[in-house]
Homo-oligomer: A and B are copies of this chain.
């Protein structure tokens, strides 16, 4: 029977989210298969990471779809994004740092599309007056990734409560830390 490729990917994602330097051997064990079989599915660590990247991109796209970016306020859409993306936050954080070391290589095509969709949302917010215009969509996008990764790690190490995950990110990203009088 063909090995459950999807199950292997998800096990690997879960493991690498916790321990980004895990060995192929550990990845195999985590998936409950032998290293040989793992290697038959993914010829090398690079292939595995690329597959994880594709998976993550697909899930992000799905999350963006589910968040219905064009619908309603940008604020609401952003809240939905973060909620939808929470399950892949760990994997996202792993890939976020992993991609730091692909120097010249140029990142996976798929990300540019995800980035573009998120940036477009921020741009829409700026155009309809919901968002301030002095922070560029590119930076807001980057900041969103950064906050998601930070939150994932902070939760992992117990520095913040897991249940607060979406709230913390969205509230900070949208509202900032300053106290406001009711607007």
A-B contact list, 25 entries, CB within 8 Å: A18-B103, A20-B100, A20-B101, A21-B101, A125-B177, A131-B177, A131-B178, A131-B179, A133-B179, A139-B154, A139-B159, A140-B172, A140-B177, A142-B151, A142-B154, A143-B147, A145-B150, A146-B146, A147-B150, A172-B176, A174-B178, A175-B176, A175-B178, A180-B183, A181-B183
> How long is the Cα–Cα vector from A183 to B176 in the complex, in angstroms?
14
CB atoms of A178 and B146 under 8 A apart: no
> How long is the Cα–Cα vector from A181 to B183 in the complex, in angstroms?
8
Q: Does A9 count as interface, using CB distance less than 8 angstroms? A: no
B residues near A150, Cβ cutoff 8 Å: 142-143, 145-147
CB atoms of B154 and A138 under 8 A apart: yes
CB atoms of B177 and A160 under 8 A apart: no
> How long is the Cα–Cα vector from A160 to B139 in the complex, in angstroms?
6
Q: Does A2 count as interface, using CB distance less than 8 angstroms? A: no
Contact of A135 among B18, B125, B142, B172 (CB under 8 A): B172
Q: Does A75 count as interface, using CB distance less than 8 angstroms? A: yes
Q: Does A72 count as interface, using CB distance less than 8 angstroms? A: no
A111 to chain B, nearest CB (A): 12
A155 to chain B, nearest CB (A): 10
Interface centre among A19, A122, A134 (most CB of B within 10 A): A134
A137 to chain B, nearest CB (A): 10
